[in-house]
Amino acid sequence: MALSSGTKSERAMSKRPILAETRTPEGTRVVLFEDTWLRHILLPQQGHPELEPYLAVVLGVLPDPDHREPDPRPLRERFFKQDVGPSKWLMVVVDSEKEPPRIVTALGYGHGESPSGWTT
């Protein structure tokens, strides 16, 4: 995982600065756009501002998740890590519809409970 400002070609294609990037266990590169982090994930009223000090932890979920599952939306996957961040579980959702795959949200999950349908 690394902080990144993106390559010139990525900036030209998306015009969205890349804040950071990480990889899945399979080695797929996944980016986190700056606006996703600041204007979606950390948005005070509707987002998850409690994650502000956990950027590195959010990025660390993807390479070594404790659990993975498909998201209800097509071409999205949920990655979970236990006992990191502000909750029992940290969930990071990756959308692979466009290149490069990107983190679209992250949030504390479960408040002490395991996600439905599985245990640790």
**Could you write out the DSSP letters of every residue in 93-110?**
EEE-SSSSPEEEEEEEES
In a domain, 34, yes or no: yes
In a domain, 117, yes or no: no
Q: Which domain holds residue 74?
A: 2-109
In a domain, 119, yes or no: no
Query: Per the structure, how many domains does the chain have?
Result: 1
Q: What is the pLDDT along the chain (120 residues), one digit of tens a residue?
A: 555 545 554 444 458 999 999 999 999 999 999 999 999 999 988 889 999 999 999 999 999 999 999 999 999 999 999 999 888 899 999 999 999 999 999 998 775 556 666 555
In a domain, 16, yes or no: yes
In a domain, 116, yes or no: no
Strands (DSSP E) contained in the chain are 2-3, 18-23, 29-33, 67-70, 76-82, 89-95, 102-109
**Stated pTM of the model:** 0.82
Q: What end-to-end distance do the CA atoms of the chain give, in Å?
A: 25
CB contact at 8 A, 91 and 78: yes
